[in-house]
A and B are shown apart, each in its own frame.
Chain A
Amino acid sequence: QSVLTQPPSASGTPGQRVTISCSGSTSNIGSNYVYWYQQLPGTAPKLLIYKNNQRPSGVPDRFSGSKSGTSASLAISGLRSEDEADYYCAAWDDSLSGRVVFGGGTKLTVL
């Protein structure tokens, strides 16, 4: 049971806009930054969004992050076939002496 809650799956057709939600609590998302990682099949996770809505260099501006209260969202616009991957949200959690917590992951399918 993950501390952060994500839908297990999401889907969209090429060109569509898709959003993935991440729900937490006051001890994690509510008081710390949210990060998003993309994991393509058979590869290591890659940073997609840091500090709630910042994109590392090289990440297309089709990817955007937002946060409100104890929830966060990842939006992907202009969906492409190469976006088919698992997406994980993460945050620092202030409980239990502090720890990193991840969402359970959302498998995005491009139809």
Chain B
Amino acid sequence: QLQLQESGPELVKPSETLSLTCTVSGGSLSSTYYYWGWIRQPPGKGLEWIGSIYYSGSTYYNPSLKSRVTISVDTSKNQFSLRLSSVTAADTAVYYCARRRDGYRGWFDPWGQGTLVTVSS
């Protein structure tokens, strides 16, 4: 059973960089069949796609966040990571990682449990 787990600081100061890691267990991140992605959800609001990555390092980013986002992969650790720079209070959200099926246009399944990151001084 594939599982994903997000980890990282729960509190980030404004203007700093948010960094999260997603650890994949029960399966290989190096599989040629899947992409891997990050999605966020501000408190009480809807879902927003941040970006996706293939095991080779190929990435797709949300155009509205592209200038601040970097997603990377470490196949040796079966992990992929998110960095979001110059954060503001608007970046406060629950951040989810998920596996992407059927290519970069496909669906997210399964999802990690999510981690709440608060941007505040």
7 A-B pairs whose Cβ atoms sit less than 8 Å apart in the complex: A44-B96, A44-B111, A45-B108, A88-B47, A98-B60, A100-B37, A100-B62
- Using a CB–CB cutoff of 8 Å, the interface residues on chain A facing chain B are 2, 32-33, 35, 37, 43-47, 50-51, 56, 88, 90, 92, 96-105
Q: What's the interface size class on B, roughly? A: 20 to 34
The CB with the most chain A CB atoms within 10 A, among B62, B105, B107, B109, is that of B107
Asked if residues A102 and B46 are in contact (CB atoms below 8 Å), the reply is yes
Asked if residues A45 and B105 are in contact (CB atoms below 8 Å), the reply is no
Secondary structure class of chain B's binding surface, majority of residues? strand
Q: Decide yes or no: A35 and B107 within 8 Å by CB, A100-B49, A104-B46 being known contacts.
A: yes
> What residue of chain A has the Cβ atom nearest to residue B48's Cβ?
A102
How many A-B residue pairs have C-beta atoms within 8 angstroms? Tell me: 64
Chain A neighbourhood of B52, CB < 8 A: 100
Among candidates B37, B47, B109, B113, residue contacting A105 with C-beta atoms closer than 8 Å: B47
Does B26 sit within 8 A of A, measured CB to CB?
A: no
A93 to chain B, nearest CB (A): 10
Asked if residues A45 and B47 are in contact (CB atoms below 8 Å), the reply is yes
Asked if residues A88 and B114 are in contact (CB atoms below 8 Å), the reply is no
Asked if residues B112 and A96 are in contact (CB atoms below 8 Å), the reply is no
Q: A44-B96, A46-B109, A46-B110 are in contact. List 10 more A-B contacts (CB 8 A).
A: A33-B107, A35-B107, A45-B39, A46-B111, A47-B108, A88-B46, A90-B107, A99-B49, A100-B37, A102-B48
Chain A neighbourhood of B96, CB < 8 A: 44-45
Chain B 56-76 interface mask (CB, 8 Å, partner A; 1/0): 000010110000000000000
